[in-house]
Amino acid sequence: MQYELTVDRRELVNGLRRFIRKEVWPSQKAVIGFDGRFFSIKASNRAIVAHAEGTWPGLAYVRSNAIIALALAPPDAEPLRICCDGKRITFGTYAIFCAWQPISSTLLSLPATPDWVEALSRGYRSSSARNRTCEPTQGKITTKSEQQLARLVAQAVKALYELGITEQDIRSLLDKRLRGSVRPNDK
């Protein structure tokens, strides 16, 4: 297996500057990935991206201090070729040992739907008569789920306020998504 990307050097070097003078512990890991358009590095509570092209179907884990070394002495080639063989990543002539995780195993490890989302969607999957005869504990679960949703909606409204997105916009989208999760046999 040999994966290769061609990365915009200018964007990468500008991003790598964010890691200079950043304290890291040798045990801290950095995650290197590619989403089809952007090459990314996440390390030390920072993330950078650069336009890229190529094939990179997974994530590479390296030591964060290797990223800082790369930031201090970035490769010269333009455009920059980044290759990974599953054991090492090369940035031009600079090589770093890595642990490779294929995207297939990453997708398998995604978390399941949180219980509170499941509780909220029950209202769309069952009849109103059945909802009225639910057990008393079911009401407590739904109330907590609605409180959790209200907190998340408030955070989203605050973050998206500058874009003119209102609470009603978000609630409408949530309603549509929850209705979309209804299967014909659940009604």
CA-to-CA distance for 101 and 80, rounded, in angstroms? 23
3-state secondary structure at position 101: strand
Q: What does the block give as tokens for 88?
A: 């090492």
- Mean pLDDT rounded to a whole number for the chain: 78
Please indicate, yes or no, whether residues 93 and 9 belong to a single structural domain of this protein.
Answer: yes
pLDDT digits (tens, 9 = 90+) for 60-100: 999 988 888 888 888 888 889 999 998 999 998 889 999 99
Residues 6+ apart with CB under 8 A from 155: none
Ramachandran angles phi, psi of 88, nearest 5°: -140, 145
Contact 7, 51 (CB under 8 A): yes
pTM score: 0.55
Please indicate, yes or no, whether residues 44 and 94 belong to a single structural domain of this protein.
Answer: yes
pLDDT interval class at 31 (50, 70, 90): very high
Please indicate, yes or no, whether residues 91 and 122 belong to a single structural domain of this protein.
Answer: no
Which contiguous run of DSSP H or E holds residue 175?
helix 167-180
Please indicate, yes or no, whether residues 120 and 103 belong to a single structural domain of this protein.
Answer: no
pLDDT at 132: 41
User: If you ran DSSP here, which 8-state letter would residue 1 be given?
Assistant: -
Please indicate, yes or no, whether residues 164 and 127 belong to a single structural domain of this protein.
Answer: yes
Number of domains in the chain: 2
Q: Which of 5-14, 20-29, 126-135 has the highest mean pLDDT?
A: 5-14
Query: In the sheet that 80-84 helps form, which strands lie side by side, from edge to edge?
Result: 94-97, 88-91, 80-84, 3-7, 46-55, 38-43, 29-34, 58-63, 99-102
Please indicate, yes or no, whether residues 121 and 104 belong to a single structural domain of this protein.
Answer: no
* Among 109, 89, 7, 101, CA closest to 59: 101
Please indicate, yes or no, whether residues 79 and 171 belong to a single structural domain of this protein.
Answer: no
Please report whether residue 52 resides in a domain. Answer: yes
Domain that holds residue 39: 3-108
pLDDT at 187: 44
Please indicate, yes or no, whether residues 93 and 161 belong to a single structural domain of this protein.
Answer: no
Which contiguous run of DSSP H or E holds residue 3?
strand 3-7
Look-up: residue for tokens 């061609």? 6
- Given the DSSP bridges, would you call strands 38-43 and 29-34 parallel, antiparallel or unpaired? antiparallel
CATH number, domain containing residue 32: 3.10.150.10
Please report whether residue 187 resides in a domain. Answer: no
Q: Is the pLDDT of residue 131 over 90?
A: no
Please indicate, yes or no, whether residues 68 and 120 belong to a single structural domain of this protein.
Answer: no
CA-to-CA distance for 89 and 187, rounded, in angstroms? 52
3-state helix, strand, coil split of the chain in percent (to 5) is: 45, 25, 25
Q: Is the pLDDT of residue 184 over 70?
A: no
